[in-house]
Chain A
Amino acid sequence: MTMKTAPLFIVAACSLCALAQEKTPSSAKIHRDAAGRPDLSGIWQGIGVSLFGETGEVRPGEGRASTWGPPPGPAPYQPWAAGKVKELASDDRKDPNVQCKMSGTPRITGIPVPFEIAQTAKKTYILYESNHIYRIIPTDGRPHPADLDPTYMGDSVGSWDGDTFVVDVTGFNDKTWLPGAGHFHSEDLHVVERYSLQPNDTILYEATMEDPKVFTKPWQYRLILRHPPRDERIMEAECQENNQDLEHIVPGK
């Protein structure tokens, strides 16, 4: 981004903040579960052509912004790690998604297909269409297990900060990427997700990623999650049956 375009970016980003605020009139009410907590249950999607359609169809009162809040800026990689990001980003064959591995947290939230949240009294389940990945998030106050084996999606525990559902995720392997090309991480990755249900039935999603082995400071990823306009069901979507791309990708793009 040039110095000339930076102010425009900020103005546009602030417009998006305003857009998000505009959609949350204080008089509107959000749907709540039997315990009085915002009920996140339902099918959600952050981006993707099947959410907006090729013609840009949106529901009345909604824009097409997919992100909210201030722009997070570039991922704050340490200098040595930034070099590795550049190398990885130049070859899509190294992308775990292209290899059909599970997408990791929070990258899975931005995969352009829907997922379903099922909120129950003591656990919240997230069922992703992509690769049929699931997460089971206990909300009964239990901590993470003491000796976690590293996993693709990490271990999640949930709690409520007022009306915001907060999910603490740790215990990752280093085989996934964060959002963005080449954005690798270490097993020390720690993610805190915040799901904030809005009166217009969207969710403001924010994931804060910390990884002292590769980052110089925490980094945020934000999405507006919406209900898909139609076809409100999660379908099967495995990845490996006909993955021809690994043999046809040309590195160094």
Chain B
Amino acid sequence: MNDRSGTEVTIAVRDLVKNHGNLEVLKGLSLEVHRGEVAAIIGPSGGGKSTFLRCLNGLERFSGGWVRIEGTTLRHDDPEARREATLCLVRRKVGMVFQGFHLFPHLTALQNVIEAPICVLREPRPQAEAKGLALLDRVGLSSKLHAKPGQLSGGQQQRVAIARTLAMEPSAILFDEPTSALDPRMTGEVLAVMADLASDGQTMIVVTHAMGFARQVANSVYVFGGGQIVESGPPEQIFEAPETEAARLFLAETLAA
């Protein structure tokens, strides 16, 4: 899995800095994710994992460095007008799945999935609906098309959220702790869907506490700590022979728990 030279870079991040007042939350991070790659970000809470992910699609502003998504570059000093335009482009290319699902509660599962394709991509409704049906079927929810989010379990909601993101046909999907709000059984449903996407070649960056998933599905693992990448590499290396003390400590604590 280390042979990346042949594939193109989907997401590139260089020297990303994020300040909260005087507090430096991200201290100059760089990484590259290639097409079809699954990158897992692990590390202790407060290490800047979610903040980093939210910088990639502009939900969070950063204070230094740049992010490039398929040739579109977001810089910290973009003028406001340019920033707005760039953000719209970036967000069409990168989807995001949240810890709290954030489905639109006033819409049914199917309506949640077809909303953005119709509004943003201007897809004709029949086409969007056909795609929506297929996607909900793929995440195992063809029986819940017309259910409102309030009538679905957490795991079902998160699978609808994944289908909603897929409907935009994104180049990459950012998962922000997608299973942290779920019990173990529902966690399993959602991780299964994500593993299925990975095997299909979907580019993903996953912030997660699910170590099993990171180990078995990810191509590369980044250990965050104190706003920096303390160690990165293929999962075998990170999980079996971590080189840094910080990574060793984190993994010892997490896997022991």
> Are these two chains actual partners, yes or no?
no
Please report A residues at the B interface, Cβ cutoff 8 Å. Answer: none
Q: Which residues of B contact A (CB under 8 A)?
A: none
